[in-house]
């Protein structure tokens, strides 16, 4: 097993007659977050699953704090995974920060991506002049301090807020589990990188067609952000706002979200 394969717990499933699909999870989860989607894909596609560096199942010894201080480090990882597997073109489905990571990777290698499906994506979480990202700096500072002071307690409070449910729900319990599996210092570093990121200036450089999929209510990403992406991305894009709640709708509302994702995977943007 190669170092890329081992580091990211790389898995490839499915027959692949209709091409390659890469599924990339967001912060606090791992590749298991796609468990409701994968069974619908394996008959027709070669499906690539992996854990982003720092996720609970990855070896923390591989986490380079300097490399992953920016999202470009993750984009380089993605390109290395595609190279390792010999992927020449793929449909890329990225959730949350991994949606942005895929967009960054596509700027240098647009040939590797036939389309990007961006679920719960944001180019910037902080509010700015003429931009509503959803957070003020003092709110983020409080979030980071809570993570720093008592990570387990923070997980218990953040999971239901993020998913949009109570602690008894299966989706909240699942997110709590994967969140708590991350080493606390790594979780804090990753959260700081994500929430302080600003890739708005890169959006016009993204030429690959983008399917933007968003929940009506999302603690981390206001609906207006999906329209911002649509307006500023360099290539063709389309937006669909789903009647779902939470930042992890593929876990909390699979009955709503999975058919939507499948439609965007299987159909191109009508020109």
Q: Which two tokens stand for residue 184?
A: 């606390």
> Is 198 among the catalytic positions?
no
> Is 8 among the catalytic positions?
no
Closest C-alpha among 74, 70, 45 to residue 58: 74
User: CB 203: neighbour CB atoms within 10 A?
Assistant: 21
25, 30, 96, 189: the catalytic one is 96
30, 51, 77, 218: the catalytic one is 218
DSSP state of 243: E
> Is 218 among the catalytic positions?
yes
Backbone angles phi, psi at 241, to 5 degrees: -100, 120
8, 95, 211, 247: the catalytic one is 247
CA dihedral 226, 230, 234, 236 (to 10 degrees): 130
183, burial (CB in 10 Å: exposed 0-12, middle 13-18, buried 19+): middle
Q: Which two tokens stand for residue 13?
A: 């499933």
Q: Which two tokens stand for residue 76?
A: 């380089």
Q: How far apart are CA 95 and CA 178, in angstroms?
A: 15
- The 3-state DSSP class for residue 152 equals helix
Q: Which two tokens stand for residue 205?
A: 């450089």
The residues assigned a catalytic role are 96, 218, 247
């Amino acid at each position: 097993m190669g170092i890329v394969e081992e580091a990211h717990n790389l898995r490839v499933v499915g027959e692949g007659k209709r091409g390659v699909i890469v599924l990339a999870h967001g912060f606090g989860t791992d590749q298991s977050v796609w468990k409701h989607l994968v069974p619908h894909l394996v008959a027709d596609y070669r499906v690539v699953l992996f854990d982003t560096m720092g996720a609970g199942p990855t070896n923390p010894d591989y986490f380079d704090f300097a490399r992953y201080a920016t999202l470009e480090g993750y984009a380089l990882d993605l390109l290395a995974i595609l190279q390792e597997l010999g992927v020449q073109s793929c449909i890329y489905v990225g959730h949350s920060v991994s949606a942005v990571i895929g967009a960054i990777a596509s700027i240098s290698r647009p040939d590797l991506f036939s389309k990007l499906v961006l679920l719960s994506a944001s180019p910037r979480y902080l509010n700015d002049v003429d931009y509503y990202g959803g957070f003020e700096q003092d709110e983020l500072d409080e979030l980071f301090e809570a993570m720093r002071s008592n990570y387990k307690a923070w997980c218990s409070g953040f999971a239901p807020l993020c998913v949009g449910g109570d602690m008894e729900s299966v989706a909240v319990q699942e997110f709590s589990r994967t969140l708590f599996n991350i080493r606390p210092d790594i979780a804090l570093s990753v959260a700081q990188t994500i929430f302080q990121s600003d890739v708005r200036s890169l959006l016009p450089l993204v030429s690959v067609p983008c399917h933007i999929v968003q929940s009506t209510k999302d603690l981390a990403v206001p609906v207006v952000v999906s329209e911002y992406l649509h307006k500023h991305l360099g290539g063709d894009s389309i937006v669909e706002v789903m009647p779902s709640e939470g930042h992890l709708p593929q876990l909390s509302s699979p009955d709503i979200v999975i058919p939507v994702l499948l439609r965007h995977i299987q159909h191109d943007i009508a020109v």
